[in-house]
Structure 1
Amino acid sequence: MAKTMPAILIAGTHSGVGKTTVAMALMAAFARRCAVAPFKVGPDYIDPSHHTAICGRASRNLDTFMMGEERVRETFARAAADADICVIEGAMGLYDGMGSSDVASAAHVARVLGLPVILVVDVKGVSRSAAAIVKGYCDFDERINVAGVILNKVGSPRHGDMVRTAIQQELPVPVVGEIPKSSRIELPSRHLGLYMAHEGYRKDYVTELESLAEDHLDIAAIRDIAQQTRDTGYAAADGGSSVGGVGFGDEDDGDGNGDGGGSTRHDITIGVARDPAFCFYYRDLIDSLKRDANLVFWSPLADDLPEADGFYFGGGYPELYVGELSARSKTRKEIRDAAADGVPIYGECGGMIYLCESLIDLDGNAYPMAGVLPAETAMTNRLQALGYTDATVSGNPVVPRGRIRGHEFHYSETNCAPDARFAYRMNRGKGISGGMDGLLEYATLGSYMHAPPSFDVSRFIESCRRHVR
């Protein structure tokens, strides 16, 4: 029987307001009490890695631009099916979407799924004005249920009393948390965002997050707010499971299929590069591959190329491990030979960079890479591309013809051979060169564009089967 899932979306007035900390703190607190299904609004690999570590089950992305509203509903319903509560972390400010629209905003996702919103407000340096800020967010779009407020960077108990009283005098929205400025938890970051959860830079941060929630948030009131989720037709069906995540070995049942057990063996095998250099993968995309292929997870940093009918190199941080990757000349040659033999290979961003001929670091040192794609990449100090992408796709062995939406985010430039061939003509975004992306060689495709969680893997699967024959 279908059920409407208790859920809350944690949004902020703007980026940097503390919503990631609040969302993860609530996940940690609820995870001690019940089964929590975590989600992240927008394109993001890093925050979901922390969600997964905290909740013990895969965090899913919800993006109305890349996936479309119906696929967002389907993903949410499927992942929420066996949970007791869902916690969704927003992106940027509540109403910040593409351009001046709300498309792909946290508000858009809240509207599509009927989610109550808890707004995180930075109250440093304000008192009664905080009520005006909250009122503006409550009134801006009557379709959005701002059902609670959490105050961050509260200067003192007296300051908290002033802000809370001002809000309560003007609005019916409850204040369900007050976090002192002294309670700020630092999560170290670098050029692409926070460190990934698997990197283990902080062993105690989950305990600190849980303590923050227990000490400064009204857990019972927030749980009550979660019951306000409206039925918008996506109600979660009983059954199914989202336990497990794309980590490092946490979903391998020992048979090399990496499926957590119970999966049907398939007629093709796809090798997925997964280690600290290649760690950006959407769980929904991995699940799509697993429906039609056996997956073997392996490390270009440590392993020889496994036997497989196709290979997938996700994004990540090859620039941080360029020396180690380059030193593994046997692995690089095996990849090059497999590509020349027509094995289908797909690389995204960092994966694409590794498949090129060389990578030049910030000091000007050039390191040989796999040498499949006719191009070389140079790292830069400046951000080269950031945002959503849309491309028209021509014939290739990986992506079906038509249109593909995704996103790009990188600090590098790739220079291609004059006769380089491309599969993507960019309608939105930068791509590799001259409005083109999707560099082609043999049956290999590499792009700066990251495919969406809802990526259609049928063409890739078909190409792998053809190569087997």
Structure 2
Amino acid sequence: MTKSVLIAGTHSGVGKTTVSMGIMAALSKRNLRVQPYKVGPDYIDPTHHTAICRRPSRNLDTYMMDEEYIRRSIEHSSNDADISVIEGVMGLYDGVDSTEISSSAHVAKVIGAPVILVVNVHGMSRSVGAILKGYSEYDKDVNVAGVVLNKVGSQRHAQMIKDALPPEIPVVGALPKNKDVSVPSRHLGLHMASEKDHNLDELAEFIEENIDLDAVVSLAREPAKPVSSVKSVSSVEPDVTIGVGMDSAFCFYYQDMFDSLRQYGAEIKFFSPIQGELPDVDGIYLGGGYPELYIEELEKSRTTHELKNLASDGMPIYGECGGMQYLCSSYEIDDVEYKMADVFPAKTRKTDRLIALGHTKAKASGDFIKGTLLGHEFHYSTTECSRDAKLEYEMIRGKGIEDGKDGLAEYNSIASYMHAHPATFPVDNFVEKCREYSKR
């Protein structure tokens, strides 16, 4: 199996994204096939990984996926790569609530990946040794194998720190401040990769000059192999077509979801609601993203005007977060109400504050989406449902739409604030509903 290494940080904002992307870029420039991953439910960082490595980046989250799913995902997606680079999330040990679940440390333990810890050393010298000692000894099952010093003030500063660190954990890099390699952010996180041209040569050169890439590669280890005897689902010939909204307004998707749709016999056709596109399909999937930034275009879009007719005709439509907002009757932004697809009897309003953030768990009792779903929610909006609106998710964890419920249902369509992962989402049921519609 392909050797892997996990890049983690002491806390959020320490520079692990820059280090991870830079290592991916520098190794790719050496003509190595780099398979990227991201710990946690994040949608945005993987788009940058994909742009850099030219291979789909995948999420690894021990809350949404069980350990065997993660091991099999790595085995399947990295078998033709030279090295796997995994970007961590938050601080190394930060997980759901006060547990290790969904943390970088937990993922590292599950797959047996060594950790390179990124430390922001601005304003410190010998104290970095205490930080590294704490992080390396906090959980003996986590292998902190190397450290990258970020935002060093000078070569002398870097040497002072190195002299104070335990010799058994090598310093593989010392990065000076460089604002030119950072990625701008907005209210839901970083900008998408499609919105920023990567100067990969500049990024790779910066890393080559300041990180010992040979040391990084030498620290990488083969991940733990799957042990389950359960066989994965065999792919079948496509006999149904599902349209996936994909543009700047709808761009939050897991690569695993696309793989799973295809595995169960779906051909995927990507289309742009912003451009008014609507292909000839048997079902529609609208992910999250930034519909609020393109609200005027969406209000005028041919897609918006025709979705309700398709829904009332019985076409299965599934939406998540931004997709759910788009499928409501209207979306209010700065006291202006914009007409949306009107599939669901509900109105959405953008807020200036974060309404919900975190992992979710729901019990779904609908026609084709049923069972326990694990996922994530993150939004700056509220949605008010009409009295006759049907909500089919009972939230066990998370906020949902209102009163502990999520999953707006109408016709053969369902949508939620919750972003679900195919590890628990009934992809086979959704594809089968699309298949039934195609045969009418």
TM-score band, normalised by the shorter chain? over 0.9
In structure 2, distance between residues paired with 1:462 and 1:143: 43
Contact 1:135 1:171 in 2 (8 A): no
1:28 aligns with 2:25: yes
Matched, 1:202 2:197: yes
User: In 1, Cα distance between the equivalents of 2:422 and 2:206?
Assistant: 32
2:231 alignment partner in structure 1? none
Among candidates 248, 251, 255, match of residue 279 of structure 1: 251
Shift of 1:32: 1.6
Structure 1 residues 264 and 393, CA gap change in structure 2 (3 angstroms)? closer
1:253 is matched with none
1:467 maps to what in 2?
Answer: 437
CA contact (8 A) 2:121 2:150 kept: yes
216, 224, 229: which one aligns with 1:222: 216
Partners of 2:426 and 2:92 in 1: CA distance = 29
1:376 and 2:376 correspond? no
Residue 445 of structure 1, aligned match among 414, 417, 428: 414
Other-structure match for 1:312 = 285
Amino acid at match of 2:226: Y
Q: Supply the AA of the counterpart residue of 2:197.
A: R
Structure 2 CA distance, aligned partners of 1:111 and 1:407?
22
The reply on whether 1:338 has 2:310 as its aligned counterpart is yes
Selected match of 1:187 from 183, 190, 199 = 183
Q: 1:202 is matched by which residue type in structure 2?
A: D
Shift of 1:416: 0.3
Distance 1:442 1:155 in 2: 61
CA distance in 2, matches of 1:208, 1:423: 50
1:370-394 residue CA offsets vs partner (Å, 9 max, x unmatched): 0101101000000000000000110
Q: In structure 2, what is the equivalent of residue 136 of structure 1?
A: 134
Could you state the TM-score of these two structures normalised by the residue count of structure 1?
0.89
The answer for the alignment partner of 1:175 in structure 2 is: 171
Identity of aligned residues (%): 54
If the length of structure 2 is used for normalisation, what is the TM-score? 0.95
How many positions carry a matched residue from both structures? 429
Contact 2:260-2:422 within 8 A present in 1 as well: no
Q: 1:354 aligns with which of 300, 304, 326?
A: 326
1:216 partner amino acid = N
Equivalent in the alignment of 1:12: 9
The yes-or-no answer on 1:50 pairing with 2:19 is no
Partner Cα separation in structure 1 for residue 64 and residue 274 of structure 2: 31
* Alpha-carbon distance between aligned partners in 2 of 1:303 and 1:20, rounded to the nearest angstrom: 35
CA RMSD of superposed structures (Å): 1.4
* Counterpart-to-counterpart distance in 1, 2:298 and 2:372: 33
Partner of 2:387: 418
Aligned residue type for 2:22: A
Secondary structure of 1:148's partner? strand
Equivalent position to 2:206, from 212, 226, 232: 212
Distance 1:190 1:183, change over 3 A: closer
One-letter amino acid matched to 2:212: D
- Is 1:388 aligned with 2:383? no
CA-to-aligned-CA distance 1:381-431 (integer Å, 9 cap, x gap): 00000000000110233x2x2200000000000000012111100000000
Describe how 1:158-169 pairs up with structure 2 within 5 A.
158-167=156-165
1:266 CA displacement: 2.1
In 1, the alpha carbon distance for the partners of 2:421 and 2:51 equals 22
1:208 deviation in Å?
A: 2.4
Structure 2 alignment gaps of length 5 or more = 228-234
The C-alpha deviation readout for 1:167-196, integer Å capped at 9, x for no partner, is 0xx341000000012466221110011111
1:268 aligns with 2:243: no
CA displacement 1:295-320 (0-9 Å, x = unmatched): 11111111342211110001000000
Superposition deviation, residue 203 in structure 1: 4.2
1:185-216 superposed Cα distances (whole Å, 9 cap, x missing partner): 221110011111112x3342x22221111110
Gaps (5+ residues) in structure 1?
236-262
Residue 404 of structure 1: aligned partner: 373
Once the two structures are superposed, residues 276-295 of structure 1 have per-residue CA deviations (whole angstroms, 9 ceiling, x without a partner) of 11011110101111121111
Match of 1:302 in 2: 275
On the 8 A contact 2:362/2:394 being kept in 1, the answer is yes
CA change 1:183–1:344 in 2 (3 A) is closer
